[in-house]
């Protein structure tokens, strides 16, 4: 197996930001309007009032595709591009601008709306508590201004609290105040005295609008209200969620702490207003960033690159500052500044970081030479051209959070963590009930909710889902069931593969020090291939010193020039050799390859050899199995994005599309981009390339196109719909003219907090693979559904959410895709990822696109040779 398998959601990008210009900021919080100048550092620069990043104009597309492709890169969108995905960091923003809801596609509405049919009914419980009563009167929104201006929300809240008797029950988010009372006059002016002095602050409260029941803004008010209720549970706010540090679990063996916590969201669903609750765990490492810096510095005598190692270890990580329980993502290390450096306070005076922390937080810093950490503070929905503010942090005061890759690779550590972090269904249900009981029995929280006429049920919502029929897989002249656990590994070992690629010559490059083991390994491969009806001839074996990378790459060139092999299997003993080999064979040459670690080769077990034989076949154009998809003339597409490992401001968007009716032949392409607009343009270009390739292979265009788009958050549906979808429609019109083509555009979302359980009060269980949920907890304004496609043996299964934002499939006579067919098709596609003889969480095309984007961003840092675009070389 390749030593760099796809990892779950790590290193993923959903679009990115170019770097902002450097500014000097205040420690441990937002930078002041005046910037300071670190001692002996660069001249001070004044940060702008708003965030900003450099604008990257769209690039024109490749010239090798037809003329229709060339024009796509010049298409203009109405709005400035918005970065897509996780790097679009959320922050406090005007409530009325948060929500965006697409209207459900008209063609998806049938007599049953978005509900599917078929399958076996199953009673389910989910992690949602009904809100049984809530206010039926209007809410009033007011804008609140402070003179002089106050930056800290806690100070603002304290100043307002002095007038609680006048204002009554209210919610304040930092700039807007919401109340059930209509204040008279419409503009109030109040005076409050600051706690730390005699200065008087004038508070102006001005009426802005009425928020009616059911408005999305009113839903956000309820979310603010529930978060206020959580504050009364004596929980600690860390980042955006609340954690119980008093119930923390200490694991001395690994120097880790686990803080249990809760994620809550109130929203309108098909069954009404619901509170979703999910348990979460914050992993705290007991070491600080300064501890890690000292560890790296200890190796300076033998490693001159120790500072580079330090930067690689902290940049991109998340740290917690214990003095205010805030989390920050580290974006840079400023070696030119340290704790002796100074910055300007709001009153214009300068102060060093040493004095600031001593005076402000009563903290005496022990190390005065430590370089400062830099965090870019971004606003949600940040628009290009806006500049980021910088926050300077002291390593000594930053606790590392999360796990390093080295920790993740430690199976003993991960096994110990799983005991606490992978809660099973019954344990998770117990924690949900414990949470709601804690809310409903805490007097302050009960009083707060009653003031707003908000009543929470203490019972989780229950409803019916459906379990789809078990799939049947097809090999060569044989069929076999996927199984109740959706795992056909055992059957596959003796099942003829659906199609086998032809291969005349192939080579194996292995260690000369262990030639006997290599030949034994090859013998097992050939035996396994024969059982699967794959005619794999004996390879040419080349023995060499595999630790000599220069010799290795030279030998690869010689083998290719002399043999012209169809495939090369490379055995290595170091992970860092993987990227060098892949770049040589995927970019410089166009030779499908498989890289195997020597320790895997030495095991010589049937399981590893079976996977390698399947990968050899797939990378040469074969297919080990298929599922029957009745619809003809359909092109199914998956799209995903991943960061460049070396340049975090660059990302790669990868597209994989099926090219035949059995959906076992593929086309792939990948494009680099540095902005949301570039991503949208290149997405349309990639679709154009796929349509050209489909027409070349089938002598006609596809009758329908189904696109699974991974990595789009709810906040960016509007942008995707206005840009990617619009460009896609223009591309299709260029190819099809006035002829209609059926199309579906489906947003795939894995990072969700929704969980489902089989409703058995005595012993809750995970739903079986194939469970579909399209009611009760789905969005009333969307054509959406949840699908549980996997069987898990540990913890709680995580479903995947699918949101069909475009559906014109039934507007043509060629297709008849009802919601039931869409759900069934999606489930079928989770069986088609050839790197795993079982179902995966997303349709195989999405997983393949992620694998391609991941390989490109992490290993290749460039597009592969076009000669590989018809093969699954990245599997």
Query: What one-character DSSP code corresponds to residue 264?
Result: E
* Cα 611 to Cα 355: distance, rounded to the nearest angstrom: 60
Instruction: Please return the burial class of 263, using the count of CB atoms within 10 Å of its CB with bins 0-12, 13-18 and 19+.
Output: middle
Which residues are paired to 773 by β-bridges?
786
Q: β-pairing, 187-193 with 236-238?
A: unpaired
Mark whether 663 is an active-site residue.
no
With beta carbons less than 8 A apart as the criterion, state whether 656 and 849 touch. Answer: yes
Structure tokens at 674: 């540095």
Exposure letters 790-820 (e unless 16+ CB within 10 A, then b): bbeeeebbbbbbbbbbbbbbbeeebbebbbb
CA separation for the pair 511, 492 (Å, rounded): 30
CA-closest candidate to residue 749, choices 721, 718, 727, 716: 716
Catalytic, 678? Answer yes
What is the DSSP secondary structure assignment for residue 192, as one 8-state letter? Answer: E
Residues 6+ apart with CB under 8 A from 417: 251, 254, 256, 258, 283
CB neighbour list of residue 134: distance below 8 Å, 6 or more residues apart: 222, 273, 452, 453, 454, 455
Catalytic-role residue among 710, 724, 779, 784: 710
Catalytic-role residue among 270, 386, 389, 640: 640
What are the E-state strand segments in 535-622? 540-544, 567-572, 593-597
CA separation for the pair 839, 483 (Å, rounded): 11
> Burial of 142 by CB count in 10 Å (0-12 exposed, 13-18 middle, 19+ buried)?
buried
Q: 732 near 705, Cβ under 8 Å?
A: yes
Two structure tokens written together for 479? 């069929």
Q: Is 282 exposed, middle or buried (0-12, 13-18, 19+ CB in 10 A)?
A: buried
List the catalytic residue out of 678, 724, 807, 869.
678
545 is a catalytic site residue:
no
Angle between the 676-698 and 726-736 helix axes, to the nearest 10 degrees? 30
Residue 332 annotated as catalytic: no
Do 688 and 642 meet the contact criterion of CB atoms below 8 Å apart? Answer: no
How are strands ordered across the β-sheet holding 389-393?
332-338, 371-377, 389-393
Q: Bridge partners of 826? A: none
Per the CB < 8 A criterion, the answer to whether 316 and 465 are in contact is: no
Question: Rounded distance, CA 263 to CA 261, Å?
Answer: 7
Q: Which of 216, 577, 801, 850 is catalytic?
A: 850
Strand 371-377, strand 256-269: pairing: unpaired
Distance CA 348, CA 339 (A): 19
The residues, any chain, with a CB within 8 Å of residue 79's CB and separated by 6 or more, are 719, 722
User: Looking at the annotation, which residues are catalytic?
Assistant: 640, 678, 710, 850
């Amino acid at each position: 197996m390749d030593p760099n398998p796809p990892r779950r959601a790590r290193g993923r990008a959903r679009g990115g930001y170019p770097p902002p210009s450097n500014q000097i900021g205040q420690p441990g919080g937002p930078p002041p309007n005046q910037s300071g100048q670190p001692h002996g550092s660069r001249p001070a620069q004044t940060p702008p009032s708003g965030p900003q990043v450099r604008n990257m104009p769209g690039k024109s597309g490749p010239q090798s595709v037809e003329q229709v492709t060339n024009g796509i890169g010049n298409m203009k969108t109405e709005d400035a591009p918005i970065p897509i995905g996780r790097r679009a960091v959320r922050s406090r923003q005007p409530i009325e601008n948060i929500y965006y809801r697409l209207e459900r596609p008209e063609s998806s509405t049938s007599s049953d709306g978005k509900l599917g049919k078929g399958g076996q009914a199953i009673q389910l419980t989910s992690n949602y508590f009904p809100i049984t009563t809530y206010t039926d009167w209007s809410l009033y929104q007011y804008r609140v201004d402070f003179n002089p201006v106050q930056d800290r929300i806690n100070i603002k809240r304290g100043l307002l609290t002095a007038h609680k008797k006048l204002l009554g029950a209210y919610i304040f988010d930092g700039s807007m105040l919401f109340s059930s009372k209509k204040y008279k006059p419409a503009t109030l002016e109040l005076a409050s005295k600051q706690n730390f002095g005699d200065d008087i602050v004038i508070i102006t409260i001005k009426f802005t609008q009425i928020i009616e029941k059911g408005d999305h803004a009113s839903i956000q008010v309820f979310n603010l209200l529930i978060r206020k209720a959580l504050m009364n549970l004596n929980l600690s706010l860390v980042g955006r969620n609340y954690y119980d540090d008093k119930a923390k679990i200490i694991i001395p063996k690994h120097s880790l702490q686990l803080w249990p916590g809760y994620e809550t969201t109130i929203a309108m669903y098909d069954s009404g207003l619901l509170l979703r609750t999910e348990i979460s765990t914050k992993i705290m490492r007991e070491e600080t960033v300064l501890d890690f810096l000292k560890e790296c510095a200890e190796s300076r005598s033998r490693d001159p690159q120790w500072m580079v190692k330090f930067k690689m270890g902290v940049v991109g990580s998340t740290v917690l500052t214990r003095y205010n329980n805030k989390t920050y993502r580290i974006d840079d290390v400023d070696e030119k500044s340290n704790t002796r450096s100074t910055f300007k306070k709001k009153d214009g005076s300068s102060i060093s970081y040493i004095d600031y922390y001593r005076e402000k937080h009563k903290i005496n810093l022990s190390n005065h030479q430590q370089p400062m950490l830099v965090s870019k503070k971004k606003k949600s929905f940040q628009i290009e051209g806006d500049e980021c503010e910088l926050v300077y942090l002291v390593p000594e005061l930053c606790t590392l959070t999360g796990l390093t890759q080295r920790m993740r690779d430690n199976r003993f550590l991960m096994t110990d963590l799983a005991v606490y972090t992978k809660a099973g269904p019954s344990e998770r249900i117990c924690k949900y009930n414990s949470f709601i009981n804690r809310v409903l029995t805490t007097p302050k929280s009960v009083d707060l909710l009653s003031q707003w006429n908000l009543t929470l049920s203490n019972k989780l919502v229950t409803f019916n889902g459906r379990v789809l029929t078990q799939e049947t897989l097809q090999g060569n002249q044989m069929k076999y069931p996927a199984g109740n656990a959706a795992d056909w590994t055992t059957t596959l070992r003796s099942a003829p593969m659906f199609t086998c690629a032809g291969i005349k010559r192939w080579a194996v490059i292995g260690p000369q020090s262990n030639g006997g083991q290599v030949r034994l390994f090859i013998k097992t491969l050939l035996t396994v291939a024969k059982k699967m009806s794959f005619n794999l001839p004996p390879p040419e074996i080349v023995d060499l010193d595999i630790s000599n990378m220069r010799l290795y790459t030279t030998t690869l060139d010689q083998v290719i020039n002399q043999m012209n092999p169809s495939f090369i299997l490379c055995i290595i003993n170091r992970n860092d050799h993987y990227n060098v080999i892949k770049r040589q064979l995927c970019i410089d040459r166009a030779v499908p390859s498989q890289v195997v670690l020597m320790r895997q080769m030495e095991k010589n077990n049937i399981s590893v050899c079976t996977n390698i034989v399947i990968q050899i076949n797939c990378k040469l154009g074969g297919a080990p199995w298929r599922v029957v998809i009745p619809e003809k003339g359909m092109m199914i597409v998956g799209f995903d994005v991943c960061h460049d490992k070396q340049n975090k401001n660059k990302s790669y968007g990868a597209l994989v599309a099926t090219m035949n009716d059995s959906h076992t032949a593929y086309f792939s392409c990948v494009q680099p981009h540095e902005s949301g607009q570039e991503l949208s343009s290149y997405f349309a270009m990639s679709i154009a390339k796929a349509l050209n390739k489909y027409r070349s292979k089938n002598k006609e265009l596809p009758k329908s196109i189904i696109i699974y788009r991974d990595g789009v958050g709810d906040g960016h549906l509007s942008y995707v719909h206005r840009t990617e979808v619009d460009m896609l429609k223009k591309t299709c019109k260029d190819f099809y003219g006035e002829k209609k083509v059926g199309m579906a555009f489906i947003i795939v979302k894995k990072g969700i907090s929704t969980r489902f359980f089989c409703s058995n009060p005595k012993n809750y269980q995970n739903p079986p693979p194939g469970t579909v949920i399209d009611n009760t907890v789905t969005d009333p304004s969307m054509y959406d559904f949840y699908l549980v496609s996997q069987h898990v043996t540990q913890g709680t299964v995580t479903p995947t959410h699918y949101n069909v934002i475009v559906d014109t499939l039934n507007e043509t006579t060629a297709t008849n895709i009802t919601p039931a067919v869409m759900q069934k098709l999606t489930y079928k596609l989770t069986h088609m990822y050839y790197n795993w003889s079982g179902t995966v969480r997303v349709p195989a095309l999405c997983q393949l696109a992620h694998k391609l984007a991941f390989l490109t961003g992490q290993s290749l840092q460039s597009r592969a040779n076009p000669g590989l675009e018809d093969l699954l070389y990245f599997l």
